[in-house]
Amino acid sequence: MNAGTREGFYVRHGKRALDVLLCLVFLPVAGPLILLFALLARLDGGPGFYGQNRVGRGGKLFKCWKVRTMVVDADDRLEAYLDSNPAARREWDVTQKLRDDPRITVFGGFLRTTSLDELPQLWNIFVGDMSFVGPRPFTPSQTDIYNGMSYYALRPGLTGPWQVGARNDDSFATRAIYDSTYARRVSLWVDLGVLLRTARVVFERTGR
């Protein structure tokens, strides 16, 4: 365990038990929705799901699953857009996101604003790659711009302090501040508070 991470029964055992319990509660309801969203995403001829390697606990890579929200040639379209738009390039370099992302499909835009595209990560939680609450998982290519260590001591989260706090407004690098603060304070009550705030964020549709 990282020296800056709070230890105790909840961190060692209770957090994982809560994850499994919540998966068993939510999967019967979320399962049919995930299949429906995946079928709708396939209407443009692409796959319904999108899996991407993310950095997990201890630096181990895992496949993080989402309902596909982008066009099939998303990587090529992003590079072409950034090459022709210096302002977008600067925004991407700082936040690793775009407010006007040309890769997002119409249906994908709805899924992202409600965060429903992330429902397949319930599987990642069930198998132990992720937790309901924790640092937001990042890609291997983003490792060099992440300036913290607390992330590696915890399972990445479906939601977390950064998602319900800064959400999309701060730079990518500031995630480390949220992650280290969470690692020092992690407890059942902190996690339940984040989950309640997440429900509000979903209803307010502030994702992208």
With respect to residue 79, please indicate whether it lies within any of the assigned structural domains.
Answer: no
In a domain, 95, yes or no: no
| Cα dihedral: 128, 162, 68, 202 (round 10) | 100
What is the per-residue pLDDT across 108-151, written as a single tens digit (0 to 9) for each? 999 988 889 999 999 999 999 999 999 999 999 889 888 888 89
Query: If you average pLDDT over residues 29-33, what whole number do you get?
Result: 94
Q: Mean pLDDT over residues 9-32, rounded?
A: 94
Please tell me the predicted confidence (pLDDT) of residue 186.
93
Of residues 45, 42, 54, the one with CA closest to residue 96: 54
- Number of domains the chain is built from: 1
Compute the distance between CA of residue 148 and CA of residue 143 in angstroms, rounded to an integer.
10
Residue 160 in any domain: the answer is yes
Sequence-ordered list of residues with C-beta below 8 angstroms from that of 77, at least 6 positions apart, any chain: 71, 102, 103
Domain-located, residue 99:
no
Q: With a cut of 50, say whether residue 57 has pLDDT above it.
A: yes
Q: 87-103: b or e for each residue (b if 16 or more CB lie within 10 Å)?
A: ebeebbeebbebeebeb
Mean predicted lDDT score pLDDT of the chain: 89
**H-assigned helices in the chain:** 9, 15-41, 74-84, 86-95, 106-114, 121-126, 161-164, 175-185, 188-204
What value does the mean pLDDT take over residues 82-95? 90
Q: Which pTM was predicted? A: 0.87
**DSSP SS3 for 64:** strand
Domain hosting residue 33, numbered range: 9-69+104-204
Give me the pLDDT at residue 14, please: 94
Q: Let me know if residue 115 belongs to a domain.
A: yes
Answer whether residue 92 is part of any domain: no
pLDDT for the residue 94: 85
In a domain, 4, yes or no: no
Whether residue 84 is contained in a domain is answered as: no
Q: How confident is the model over 150-168, as pLDDT tens digits?
A: 899 999 999 998 888 765 5
